[in-house]
A and B are shown apart, each in its own frame.
Chain A
Amino acid sequence: MSTENNFDHLLGIKGLSQSQIQTIFETADNFKSLLNSPVKKTPALRDTTIANLFFENSTRTRVSFELAEKRLGADVVNFSSSSSSVKKGETLIDTVNNILSMKVDMVVMRHPAPGACLFLAKHVNAQIVNAGDGTHEHPTQALLDAYSIREKFGEVAGKKVVIVGDILHSRVALSNIYCLQTLGAEVMVCGPVTLIPKNIEKLGIKVSHNLNQALQWCDVANMLRIQLERQDQRYFPSLKEYSKLYGLSQDRLDHLNKEICIMHPGPINRGVEITSDIADSNHSIILQQVENGVAIRMAVLFLLAQNNR
């Protein structure tokens, strides 16, 4: 997305202005109210065709995008790399250009390579929505996380948010940092030294390696999963030890003298970064995040579609 209220692509949160994010939120408010009414569909994107290209596994994001697209009345084609000609050696640009030649207007893409969406935006003639590119960004997740905080507290500005876990391999963490900072929140990351990128404090955030202190500081704790599939070496001795030091449990919350809001982008590894009782407690807004994801994605697609002719 580029200039004020002029949305070309959504490649990342970096570069989005506060006003653009607010426009997305205000549009999402209206979609949320639509989703809670008996008729959940609109014909707004009835003459738009969207391709969902998932070169990596996904459940929530893919279903959420597909639902958002269908509720906007768009035609949808789904593609996953495991059952495609990518396996036969086709390049990304060839794959996408072949799909676009079938008159597709927008591409929602998840890809393991950081920067894949930017690369595509430069080389193909379609609007690109980044649904996660490697360890780089996951903009719609950050938007729905910030939107959920706004829904819970009324505003994001001034709130203290700690992101806990595998910051090194997390695209959610980076997008969240950009989004929350743009909206005026204070951000801290917390995790083992090996899972926090060096010099991350230069982004203007706090860093802690002590979960108890981080929880005492924050209003919101966003718990991230350990991304074992991206880890090429051992970053901590064992999951049991990680869980003991950085897992969120009732016992840990009992020692706080305040209530905090618990978030998780999913998928949850119950018993590792968060215990089941906390994930299912009324402090958790994990399912609200999922619900808000559809409204946020509808808002992003609706605003992008207006620039597609």
Chain B
Amino acid sequence: MTEELAAEKRNHKMYGRASVMFDDPPYILSAASVVGKKESEGPLGTCFDCIESDSMLGRKTWEQAESELQTRAARLAVRKSGLSGGDIRYYFGGDLLAQLIATSFGSMELELPVFGVYGACSTMGEAMGLGAMTVEGGFADNVVVTASSHFASAEKQFRFPLEYGNQRPYSATWTVTGCGSVVIGKRREPEREYGGRRDEEEILRAAAGADEKRAGEKTRMSVPFAKIAGITTGKIVDMAVRDSMNMGAAMAMAALDTVLRNFHDLGVRETYYDRIVTGDLGQIGKRLLTDYMAEAGYDIAERHLDCGILIYDAEKQDTHAGGSGCGCSAAVLCGYILPKIKSGEWRRVLFVPTGALLSTVSFNEGQSVPGIAHAVILEHAEEKNG
């Protein structure tokens, strides 16, 4: 074998400059979403697994409340996967708070080895990419990927105390109180699903009608939500946007860059995907993305959705441009997008969470607000016989 050929063989998962297509794609075994009251009153209200009407979640501070969101969503995702905590090798988590405290304190009780990830509101995409590569590379059999945000903790950190009166511009977004968590793992064959003595015994008992309900749940759980076919990791794109209250404008060109990069790396067009779902561009960002995509020669208007626009009713809920935050794309992914992929309504979706990279320090020191976007290619997982 020539050296070139050997290199090609070694690099066969790498596509273009920034994309990966998996040989043995990992699966999203389960997904769980936990949201707050306002999100439950939005158009997707009935899609989420768990609704917390107490914005403090029974804790003492907003930061603790956000941690609680992560703990609950991750626990639920693991439970829905039919696995136990011991089957999970790593936890990939992220949030918006400084030093990632919602993730640190939220994952503490789970007692899992943790990778803390920060990609602003694009965190879910970044963490899923890392989680999927870890699983496919054979470094873990199952991982949990979680991202959260909380309206109050984000307002407190990035803007003003909640009780302070101020007017929000129309370009402003509303930080979602919510969390999405997925379990990524290798697909389990039915016999492997029930592998191990304990499970075998359970099946026998279920077959004898002793535990019908449980067996039913297990069978349902064995169908994964989706397959992660590949990822495209985004680069930081600075369009010199200086308005921190217009994050859609700051992020739209990062989404454009990542989507175009994905098309280029894979040699595909927009028609390759049933839906292209961005994270939290909002109304203004959506307009900018579709307009510039059209200029680049791709008409995505029909297939583009934005989690931030989906989650709230802008008219009734007074959220202006839409929802935002790590929890926005994560919760919408788990509550709305993945079930549609699982049912086969959408066969292939490009999920592109978007993030605005700023802190109050960088902003006050006169830096612009650059954006980033990470794409994950999600495909319908065919039912396996047997």
Q: Is B a genuine binding partner of A?
A: no
By a beta-carbon cutoff of 8 Å, the part of chain A in contact with chain B is none
